[in-house]
Structure 1
Amino acid sequence: MLALGLVLTSPARAQAETISNPVAVFSGLDKITATITTLQVPINTTKRFGQIEVTPKVCYSRPATEEPKTSTFVEIDEIEEDGSKKRIFTGWMFAESPALNALEHPVFDIWLTSCTDPNKAPEAAPDQGPAPEVAPEDIPQDTD
């Protein structure tokens, strides 16, 4: 009698390229003044927004040819009245799901909007080929 063994394996998943960026871009809402501010914070650098200090540790994105996925690991501290700092957030934020892990504070909200590399030219969208030619008679005329 022959024993036939089957080996089940999971299909290999294609891994999208991850781009590590030197700058994380956040939006900050001051609920007292109803002002939204853009914060561009270099990795491992702290930027103050009101009584909040934001320190991104990494900021990842994907190439323009991949499905968008932008994330950062960030630490956020609140500066107390006596000058001491209290850690109020440590974790991942996702630009495509800002409500998932944004900082919600009684006075300030902070969420990730993007990751950038100011030294790199923006990526072009994938080439779609030449634009179709349009004959002049196919262009609608202005009737006003």
Structure 2
Amino acid sequence: MIGKVLAMLALSTGLASAQEAPEGLAEAPGAYLRGLDKIAAASTDLTLSVGEAVRYGALSVRLDDCRYPADDPASNAYAFLEITDTTIDKVMFRGWMIAQNPALSALDHQRYDVWVLRCKID
């Protein structure tokens, strides 16, 4: 099921354009993320609107899209993120993250973890 949704998202969005969501998925105006500073052992919740970027430590986190199952908004979230390490000006992650399976497509950074909690639908 997850592979099918990822394939639909990849085919329909290219680079997360504002196209119509695949059948069964609805577009959300934002997302809730959580960041973990592994050295300080501190987590921080981040709220982003689509198109917005926020700083989280040395990272810049940009949300380009968030989609969720239209028939069950609380069940999962798919967010297209671009995460840049600003200290070296390098994109560390660019792609879809899935709330229910964060390890499937995860940020690989020595200090920080970032993952999707849910889409912001209100």
The TM-score with structure 1 as length reference comes to 0.64
- The structure-2 alpha-carbon separation of the partners of 1:67 and 1:79, relative to structure 1 and needing over 3 Å to count, comes to closer
Unaligned ranges ≥5, structure 1: 1-14, 119-144
Aligned to 2:26: 19
1:92 to 87, 96, 112: 96
- Among the aligned pairs, what percent are the same residue? 32
Larger radius of gyration: 1
- Determine whether 1:106 maps to 2:113: no
Cα distance in 1 between the residues matched to 2:75 and 2:30:
17
Q: Indicate the structure with greater helix content.
A: 2
1:31 to 31, 38, 52: 38
Report if the CA contact (8 A) 2:29-2:120 is conserved.
yes
Q: CA RMSD in A?
A: 2.0
Cα distance in 2 between the residues matched to 1:92 and 1:107:
21
- The structure-2 alpha-carbon separation of the partners of 1:64 and 1:34, relative to structure 1 and needing over 3 Å to count, comes to farther
- The structure-2 alpha-carbon separation of the partners of 1:32 and 1:67, relative to structure 1 and needing over 3 Å to count, comes to closer
Report if the CA contact (8 A) 1:102-1:112 is conserved.
no
Report if the CA contact (8 A) 1:54-1:75 is conserved.
yes
